Chains A and B, each alone.
Chain A
Amino acid sequence: MATLEIHDLRVSVEADNGSREILKGVDLTVKQGETHAIMGPNGSGKSTLAYSLAGHPKYTITGGTVTLDGEDVLEMSVDERARAGVFLAMQYPVEVPGVSVSNFLRTSATAIRGEAPKLRLWVKEVKEAMERLSMDPAFAERNVNEGFSGGEKKRHEILQLELLKPKIAILDETDSGLDVDALRIVSEGVNRVREAGEVGTLLITHYTRILRYIKPDFVHVFANGRIVESGGAELADQLEAEGYDKYVKGGATA
């Protein structure tokens, strides 16, 4: 059973006035089949956690460990992490000029699966996955994220999630910028992947709205670079009612 273990993770970024610590000792264990919501105010370090786990070069790991089934994730390059089963659905997916969605998806699936998927099966697989996300087939011939609306970008991220079947899915503010319809479609996509029972999900969000569609097993409150409280789904209701005030008062907001 796949398990992501984060222990005392400390991360800094380089700024003009020297390095600044953003993650200040994060402890979290995500097991296959579980869904963890990480909630917190803006600037608390949620996205830094997501990008650090994926290996973005902007972030420097200054302490702690991250392992996936005992393997040291922090030692891996970005693409090695992806091939090991870590998937990051990005808040701001990047435009890649000159690369069509279909070419990108196939290249990615080939890298992740270790061999090129059989063409006919693959075409069918992509077509069906796109239909489930209410995506126009013409989408496949567009360049990756180029000219995509906010909703299209997020659907495209979830399309990849469905096709690449990671062990650990990190969804960074996947709900941001979506209208209700798009939020529902995207959430249904995430739920299909969860229901297969093979993925551990780390759902990073500022708002409780998405949790009406995706029910977390655990909710963690993130403030000032660490998890300050953990609980069940009911913690989200409490946050909905009370906001983050009581968590940001104690420490300085980052």
Chain B
Amino acid sequence: MAEAQNSPILDSARLGAPPSAGSTTAGAIAVAAESTVATRMSAPPSFDVADFPVPHGREEEWRFTPLERLRGLHDGTAVANGTMKAQIDAPEGVTVESVDRGDERIGKAGTPVDRVAAQAFSSFAKATVVTVPKETVLAEPIRVALHGEGGTTFGHTVFDIKPFAEAIIVIDHTGDGVRAANVDILVGDGAKVTFVSVQDWDDTAVHTSQHNALVGRDASFKSVVVTFGGDLVRLHPRVRYAAPGGEAEMLGLYFTDASQHQEHRLLVTHDAPHCKSNVVYKGALQGEGAHAVWIGDVLIEKTAEGTDTYEMNRNLVLTDGARVDSVPNLEIETGEIVGAGHASATGRFDDEQLFYLQARGIPADEARRLVVRGFFAELVQQIGVPDIEERLIAKIEAELEASV
């Protein structure tokens, strides 16, 4: 049977704005002096792997993750023995450097929040820093192609987008391997950045990554996370604001097949006033043992007056045997906000739905495509990178073909 598990605390909730239509959700809105986002972690953020105890699986941040499939990334037994073929296509004006870990730009956007992210930080040899100079508007995306050729690799990449620059960044992960890496995105004042991370791994790959975005004054940042492949993928897309007036949009799309574990753990920290955030993640699941996890944390700190935030997770379970854990969590430490809300819902495509569509003349395979395409369509259109949108639609079709 398909299971949909949520923390049963509150129904669809929104403060300071009208309720969202037609959604059911489970999650929490807490107005508290002390943040549980911080206190429920087993250790505070740190760059040093030794500061984190080896997880045993019952910790809040690890309870959904099959540790035995992390290939030693979590307990110190993983060693860098693999090959990751990297190709960076950078438009003119963009600089790409390979730097040592002492470089001051590394780690500025965020600190590792779990042992695996800290392991990646402690283990990388050289970091890559990609810089888009001030006021440079790129006509073409910066493309980073990472193709795993087996074994374990660690990495760290910094994208430093200077004030008033505009850039689209696409990181594309393919092939096989065990990959632990962190990505920092420094979004300068008034800059506009779209950051796309595609996880199109072979079904044997393991990938963990923490994406840290630091959004400058009046800057806008869009994160697009697309996860199709991998045996286990666990990502931490995170946003913080360096100054007032920033906007962040975080879009995610996953298609979880039999035996895949795909986990997305988001955090938006509103620590500056008058910033906006909007989170939309959608996933489809099919096959025995398909497991998707979505954790959506939004923290509105006392200083963040005028915040406007909304987060949503939708899941579509196509077959028996798949499982979704969806936990939205909103913490508000100031009442002086424009709006804050969240929603989570998990629906099933079942025989009765199939019958209904067929009874209107629609053949079975087309009915299934109709449902999945419709489910993702709106989200795909928001990505704004045409070749990624096309590839996504093709990929969704291919996933559906494989299931029939």
Contact = CB atoms under 8 A, between A and B. Distances in A.
Interface stretch (A8-16, A22-30, A75-83, A120-128): A75-83
Interface string B326-348: 00000000000000000000011
Contacts of B352: 94
Which of A82, A96, A107: most chain B Cβ within 10 A?
Answer: A96
B361 A164 contact: yes
B355 A56 contact: yes
A77 B358 contact: yes
Interface string B370-381: 111011100000
A94 B353 CA distance: 6
Interface stretch (A97-105, A174-182, A230-238): A97-105
Interface in A134-170: 142-144, 146-147, 160, 164
B372 A98 contact: yes
A77 B355 CA distance: 10
B356 A164 contact: no
Contacts of A160: 360
Given A97-B316, A146-B22, A164 B370 contact: no
B62 interface: no
Nearest to B346: A97
A79 B353 contact: no
Contacts of B51: none
Contact of B360 (A77, A104, A142, A146): A104
A38 interface: no
B347 A82 contact: no
Interface string A83-120: 10001101001111111100110011001100000000
A104 to B, nearest CB: 7
A186 B230 CA distance: 51
Given A97-B349, A147-B21, A111 B360 contact: yes
B374 A103 contact: yes
A117 to B, nearest CB: 13
Contact of B374 (A83, A95, A99): A99
Nearest to A146: B22
B362 interface: yes
A118 to B, nearest CB: 18
A57 B355 contact: yes
Given A94-B356, A98-B316, A79 B372 contact: no
Contacts of A111: 360-363, 366
B357 interface: yes
Contact of B359 (A88, A103, A144): A88
Interface size bracket, B side: 20 to 34
B351 interface: yes
Interface residues of A, number: 34
A82 B359 CA distance: 6
B359 A54 contact: yes
A146 B348 CA distance: 12
B30 interface: no
Given A56-B355, A90-B356, A93-B356, A99 B362 contact: no
B254 to A, nearest CB: 15
Contacts of A142: 22
Nearest to B284: A98
Contact of B356 (A83, A96, A97, A107): A96
A56 B349 CA distance: 16
B364 interface: yes
A107 B360 CA distance: 9
A79 B347 contact: no
Which of B353, B356, B360: most chain A Cβ within 10 A?
Answer: B360
Interface string B12-40: 00000000011000000000000000000
Contacts of B358: 55, 77-79, 82
B344 to A, nearest CB: 13
16 contacts: A55-B359, A57-B351, A77-B364, A82-B360, A94-B353, A94-B356, A96-B353, A97-B349, A97-B375, A98-B374, A99-B357, A104-B357, A107-B370, A111-B361, A142-B22, A160-B360
Given A77-B358, A82-B361, A99-B357, 17 more contacts: A54-B355, A82-B358, A96-B357, A97-B316, A97-B347, A97-B349, A98-B316, A98-B374, A98-B376, A103-B370, A103-B374, A104-B360, A107-B366, A108-B357, A108-B361, A144-B356, A164-B360
Interface of A: 54-57, 77-79, 81-83, 87-88, 90, 93-100, 103-104, 107-108, 111-112, 142-144, 146-147, 160, 164
